[in-house]
Structure formats: C-alpha cells, structure tokens
Amino acid sequence: MAEALRLARRGLWTTEPNPRVGCVIAGAGKVLGRGWHERAGGPHAEVMALGDAGEAARGATAYVTLEPCSFYGRTPPCTNALSEAGIARVVCAMVDPHPRVAGQGLKQLHAAGIEVRSGLMQAEARELNPGFISRFERGRPWLRAKLAASLDGRSVGADGRSMWITDEPARVDGHRWRARAGAILTGIGTVLADDPGLDVRLPGYRATPVVVVVDSRARMPASARILSSGARVIHACVPTAGRSPEGCERLEIGPGDAGRVALGPLLDALAGYEINELHAEAGPTLSGALLVAGLVDELLVYQAPCTIGADGGAMLRLPGVEKLDRRLHFTVLECRKVGPDWRFRLSPVVA
C-alpha cells in the first residue's frame, strides 16, 4: 500500500477534479503490476496496474489507495475490470466518499467472489486527497491559504510594494502548491493593487487552474491580466453589483457581513464547479476574513529573514480578534527551509 500511495502522488498536479489514486498488483511475494491515475478521462489506477500485470493478475491481490469505482462515469467501473482480470483479493486504503460509490464498490467486488478489505494506511490516503474528501463530506473544497511576510509580520512595504518579500526558491515552491489546486482564490484588492496573473509558472506544467475573484461590488477592470491569461475566471459578486467584465463567469452570492460576498456560501458554490483544493492568494482583508470565519483548513506561510517596520502593511486583518485572548491558534504541521526563507504549514486549532 505504501508503494500504491507513492504512485498516487504522481497525480498531485494533474488529476483534478478526480482523486489521486495508485494501485499495486501483487502475488507470490512480488509486485506484478503498478499503476496510477494521471488525469480525468484517462485510465484509472486499477486499469493501469492490471495492464502492467497482464495475465499474472489472475489470483493476485490488488492494493489500491481508494475504493474502486462502481459506476460508469468518464470511464467504465474499475470493479468490472478487477473482476474480469481474475483478481482474488482487493485491499483499499479508504472507502470512496463519492455518493455513487461509498461502499458499493466493495459490495460489488464481494458479490463477485473477491475478498475485500479496507482501512490499510487510511490516514495517509486521506492526507493525499483532502480536497476530494472535503467536497463530498463537507460540501465545499479544502481551502489552503498562502501568505508571505517578513519577520515582523509585514506583507507590504511602507511604499506599498509587496514584490518580492521572499526569494526565488520560495516563489517556485509556492507555484507547486498553486499547481496542485483546482482553483486559485483572490480578492479584488489584490487584483487592483498587483494585477497578478495567478498562473502556474513551472517547467512542463500545462494545466491552468480556475481563478476565482471575490469582488463584491464588481470593480474588476476589463484590463485585468487574469482575463487574458487563458484561465477560466469566476467573478464572485453580490447580486446587486454592477456588470462583470467580458471573459469571466459571474457567480452571484448573497451578501454577508458589511454587504460583502458571504464566504461560506461561496465555498459551497465552488464545490459545484468540481473544485477539490482551493488555493487562496489574497490580501490581508480577504485572508483574514477567511481565517476568522473558520474556513481555512491549512495555512501556508513563507517567512523571509528581513524586517519591514511598523509602517508596512500587516499580513492579516482579523476583525473580532482585537483582544489578546481572542487570538487565533495553530498547530505546526511542518517547518521547512526553502532557500533563505522558511515555510510553515499550519492547521488552525478549532476552539
């Protein structure tokens, strides 16, 4: 199963909106076939592994990181392929949260006379697909918010400039996290101040994540760079806002606090776009609002070994956290040096 999980990780940047899945066919004390799911519409991991194993798959065990699918979607069900190949036993790491599977795959395999087992290395399998699981278990994408700051917690200089606080290795690393997301979330403040492209600039990477702009009053200019980037752009506004510029899809969300787009319903709506992982690169207002609302699942903070001073712009604005005893707490999942900078991966502590 560890090998199947390793194979599944090859699909980190390519499988959206499908999950990352790996499969190993084993028997007689050796590996007979390996496979992984590369992209939506392509062969699933089980089919790839069965093709690699050939006739040797008959009577063997299939180790797969997610319950085999049991319905016709973009491809035929993997339960049929496993049964027809003569697999004797299927061990999956976790049950598929998709409501059209959700245990039905294991039931179909059992009915076909195949021994089934689930739960082996389940925690590792869930960690590999947080967005896919979140979309079906919670009805919203998994939200990862990325921030960059100086040692004194400033993300903008006193002169209004924010490019660049961190060094090149940290920026490349940030693009890798962008690449694994189904969509990039930003706010109109960032669009107006920085006019970002929000594309993924990595050698060999060709996919273009969706860009979601939270723009309550529809202030996005027609000249915004993201509108000519080739990305699908979703323009999230309140229903009473002005017109959206050409080149984007308008998504109307009822107002929440201060008449702005309600962020919880926005994330719920984005699940309907089959977005698994949502990667937020926004300014202090939107990033802070997401944190205070409890919508951030993971925080990615790049800290540069520099200081900017009190006249610089704060990394976050946190309404309602004015008193020390209201401060937000995090669990450090990982701390890693990236070039001269540090990257902290944090999980918000739920009170």
Q: Mind telling me the catalytic residues?
A: 46
68, 211, 234, 235, 239 from 242: Cα distances, Å: 47, 20, 15, 12, 9
In 3D, which of 233, 192, 239 has the Cα closest to residue 213?
A: 233
| CA separation for the pair 334, 349 (Å, rounded) | 15
Q: How many CA atoms lie within 13 A of 180 on its CB side?
A: 18
180, 282, 298, 301, 315 from 341: Cα distances, Å: 21, 20, 19, 10, 16
Mode of pairing for the β-strands spanning 183-187 and 154-156: unpaired
Residues 287, 316 contacting (CB under 8 angstroms): yes
- Structure tokens given for 225: 């760079």
In 3D, which of 54, 55, 63 has the Cα closest to residue 26?
A: 63
In 3D, which of 63, 21, 67 has the Cα closest to residue 44?
A: 21
